[in-house]
Amino acid sequence: MGFESSERDLRSGDRFPASPRAAMRIGTVMHGSPSPNFIAGSCVRTRQAGLFTLTERTYGSCTIGRHAHNCSSLDVVLDGVVRDRYRHRERVATPGTLLFYGADVKHEWQSDGVVIFHIMLPQTESRLFENEDPESRIAPAIAHRLYQEFRARDDASSLAVESLGYEMVAQSQPIERGEPKWCRVARSIMHDLSERSIRLEWLASEVGVHPGHLARTFRRFHGCTPGEYLRRVRVTRAAMRLRDPDLPIATIAADAGFSDQAHFSREFRTHVGTTPSSYRRTVAG
C-alpha cells in the first residue's frame, strides 16, 4: 500500500484507556473490494442509540484492500496503530485519534493489531461532514465521553450517547444570549419523566428543535448532556427517598431507572460523594 512514505501523523494528546490486544494477531490479509456492508474484525460489544450504531471491534494483523461502506462513520482508535489511505491521503492513527470515512468513499488500511470504536452516523447527518475532514473539528474529549457512555448500562446512557453523537455533528446555528424557553421545557420534561427511558430525538421533537441543536445548546447552558442531566435528577430524587428507612435501596434504585443497586451506588457516589447506605445513615441522624 506504500505507507512507508508521505505519512501524515494524526496523533492526539487526548488518550483513551488502553485495550488488550492479546490473541489478536491472526495474520489476516484481504484484497479486492469487500461489499458495502463489510466490516472486518471481531465485535467486542455493539449498541444502538437512536439512529446511531456504535461498535467496539478488535482487528488482528491485517491489510484490507480498497473498499467502501454505505454509510459514513467516525472511528476512534482505542489501542494500536492504523495506517490508511483515504481521499488520496495517507494517515497514521494512534490511540485517541479520530478518523472519518464518508459513505461510498473507497479507502484501504492496514494494522498489526488494533481496537477501534466505530460510530456509524445516521444518513441524515452524514452530509454535514462532506465539505471537510471533521476529525480536525471534533474535540477528542467528546468522542472519549461517548465511548464511556457507550460502555455504561443504564438507560440514561442511551440518551447521553445520542446527545453526544448529535453534538459531534451539529452545525453552526444562532446562539441564544440566554437559555431559550424550549431548553427550559426540555429540562422540565426530564424532571417529570425522570424514571422513564428518554430518547434525544423524541425530546427534541417535543420542544421543536433539531437533536443536534438541543444537545449543543443544553451543554452550553448546563455543562452536560441531557443524559447526564437526567442522571443527576434521578440521583437527587433517589436521595430524597433514602430518607425513608423502610424503603429498600434496591427498590429505590430500580424505581429511579438504574439497572441495579451496584450501578446506582456508583452513580450516587459520583454525584453525592458517598454511598447510598452511608447517606441514609447520615440523614437519619
Q: Are residues 120 and 212 in the same domain?
A: no
Give the pLDDT of residue 4. 39
Determine, yes or no, domain membership for 135: no
Report how far residue 98's alpha carbon sits from residue 72's, in angstroms, rounded to the nearest whole number.
13
For residue 55, list its beta bridge partners: 46, 118
Determine, yes or no, domain membership for 284: yes
Report how far residue 152's alpha carbon sits from residue 240's, in angstroms, rounded to the nearest whole number.
24
Among 76, 102, 78, 81, residue whose Cα is nearest residue 92: 81
- On the question of pLDDT at 5 being above 80, the answer is no
The strand pair at 107-120 and 73-86 is best described as: antiparallel
Determine, yes or no, domain membership for 81: yes
- Band the pLDDT of 97: cuts 50, 70, 90: confident
Determine, yes or no, domain membership for 136: no
Angle, nearest 10°, between helix axes 211-222 and 181-192? 90
Q: Are residues 48 and 172 in the same domain?
A: no
- On the question of pLDDT at 26 being above 50, the answer is no
Q: Are residues 191 and 64 in the same domain?
A: no
The strand pair at 52-67 and 28-30 is best described as: parallel
pTM: predicted TM-score of the whole model, two decimal places: 0.55
| Domain count of the fold of the chain | 2
148 CB-near residues (< 8 Å, 6+ apart) = none
Q: Are residues 121 and 158 in the same domain?
A: no
Domain CATH code at residue 112: 2.60.120.10
Q: Are residues 83 and 159 in the same domain?
A: no
Domain boundary among 86, 110, 125: 125
**Which range (129-133, 196-200, 219-223) has the least confidence?**
129-133
**Which range (122-126, 206-210, 236-240) has the least confidence?**
122-126
Q: Are residues 121 and 171 in the same domain?
A: no
Determine, yes or no, domain membership for 134: no
The amino acid occupying position 185 is: V
Contact present, 75 and 41 (Cβ < 8 Å): no
Q: Are residues 191 and 99 in the same domain?
A: no
Determine, yes or no, domain membership for 3: no
Q: Are residues 201 and 247 in the same domain?
A: yes
- Cell numbers representing residue 88 in the block: 488520496
Determine, yes or no, domain membership for 249: yes
Give the pLDDT of residue 103. 82
Q: Give the domain range for residue 85.
A: 8-125
pLDDT tens for each residue of 60-94: 988 888 888 888 888 899 999 999 988 877 888 88
pLDDT tens for each residue of 272-282: 888 899 888 87
Q: Are residues 23 and 94 in the same domain?
A: yes
Domain boundary among 125, 144, 178: 125
Q: Are residues 157 and 109 in the same domain?
A: no
Report how far residue 228's alpha carbon sits from residue 231's, in angstroms, rounded to the nearest whole number.
5
Determine, yes or no, domain membership for 141: no
Q: Around 162, how many Cα atoms within 13 Å sit in the side-chain half-sphere?
A: 22
Q: Are residues 183 and 252 in the same domain?
A: yes
Report how far residue 123's alpha carbon sits from residue 70's, in angstroms, rounded to the nearest whole number.
9
158 CB-near residues (< 8 Å, 6+ apart) = 49, 50, 197, 199, 227
Q: Are residues 169 and 96 in the same domain?
A: no
Domain CATH code at residue 162: 1.10.10.60
pLDDT tens for each residue of 237-266: 888 788 788 889 999 988 888 878 888 898
